Amino acid sequence: MENFNNKIDPLIDESLHEHHSFVADKGQEPLRVDKFLMNRIENSTRNKIQQAAKSGNIYVNGNVVKSNYKIKGNDNIQILFNYPPYENLLLPENINIDIEYEDDSFLIVNKPPNMVVHPGHGNYSGTLINGLIYKFNKLPIDQNHRPGLVHRIDKDTSGLLVVAKSEKSMTFLTKQFYKKSIQREYHALVWGNVEKDKGRIDINIGRNPKNRLQMTTFIKNDQGKSAITHYKVIKRYGYVTHIKCILETGRTHQIRVHMKHIGHTIFNDERYGGSKILKGTHFTKYKQFVENCFKIIPRQVLHAKTIGFIHPKSKEFFSFDSDLPEDFKNVLSKWERYSKSTNL
Looking at per-residue confidence, does 287 or 11 come out higher? Answer: 287
Residue 226 is predicted with a pLDDT of 93
* CATH number 3.40.140.80 given to 4-82: no
DSSP 297: S
Equal CATH topology for 86-178 and 183-341:
yes
291 CB-contact burial (10 Å; exposed 0-12 / middle 13-18 / buried 19+): exposed
Q: Which of 194, 205, 148, 159 is nearest to 321 (CA)?
A: 159
Residue 99's H or E segment, with its range, is: strand 99-102
If DSSP codes are grouped into helix, strand and coil, which group holds residue 285?
helix
Q: Give yes or no for residue 115 having a pLDDT over 60.
A: yes
Distance CA 335, CA 239 (A): 9
Closest-CA residue to 43 (of 104, 113, 95, 120): 120
pTM of the model: 0.77
Please determine, for residue 134, whether its predicted confidence score (pLDDT) is greater than 60: yes
Contact between 153 and 182 (Cβ < 8 Å): no
Please spell the DSSP secondary structure of 184-234, one letter per residue.
Answer: EEEEEEEES---SSEEEEE-EEEE-TT-TT-EEEESSTTSSB--EEEEEEE
Condensed to tens digits (0 to 9), the pLDDT of residues 188-215 reads 999 999 999 999 999 999 988 777 678 9
pLDDT of residue 68: 93
pLDDT of residue 10: 33
Q: How would residue 31 be classed by pLDDT, with cut points 50, 70 and 90?
A: very high
pLDDT of residue 122: 63
Buried b (16+ CB within 10 A) or exposed e, 16-32: ebbebebebeeebeeee
CATH topology of domain 86-178: Pseudouridine synthase (3.30.2350)
* Residue 261 pLDDT grade (very low, low, confident, very high; cuts 50, 70, 90): very high
pLDDT tens profile 49-105: 888 888 888 889 888 899 999 999 999 998 887 655 555 568 899 999 999 999 999
Q: 283 or 159, which is more confident? A: 159
Residues 266, 12: Cα–Cα separation, whole Å: 43
- Of residues 211 and 24, more confidence is placed in 24
More confident residue, 88 or 298: 298
3-state helix, strand and coil shares in percent for the chain, rounded to the nearest 5: 25, 30, 45
Q: If we measure between CA atoms, which residue out of 334, 208, 188, 207 comes closest to residue 264?
A: 188
Q: pLDDT band at 304, cuts 50/70/90?
A: very high
pLDDT tops 80 at residue 295: yes
Strand pairing report for 198-202 and 204-207: unpaired
- In the chain, % of residues over pLDDT 70: 90
CA distances from 271 to 63, 81, 91, 274, 288 (A): 32, 23, 30, 7, 21
User: d(Cα 17, Cα 89) in Å, to the nearest integer?
Assistant: 12
Q: Rounded CA gap, 230 and 245, in Å?
A: 5
Strand partners, 120: 123
Task: Burial-class residue 178 by CB neighbours within 10 Å (0-12, 13-18, 19+).
Answer: exposed
The mean-pLDDT minimum among 57-66, 98-107, 272-281, 300-309 falls in 57-66
pLDDT in tens, 142-159: 777 789 999 999 999 999
Q: At what angle do helices 326-341 and 284-296 cross, to 10 degrees?
A: 160
In this predicted structure, the answer to whether residue 4 has a pLDDT above a threshold of 70 is no
pLDDT for the residue 211: 77
Question: pLDDT (tens digit, 9 = 90+) per residue, 320-334?
Answer: 999 999 999 999 999
| Average of per-residue pLDDT values in the chain | 88
> Yes or no: is domain 183-341 CATH 3.30.2350.10?
yes
pLDDT of residue 303: 98
Q: Where are the domains of the chain?
A: 4-82, 86-178, 183-341
Provide the annotated active-site residues.
154
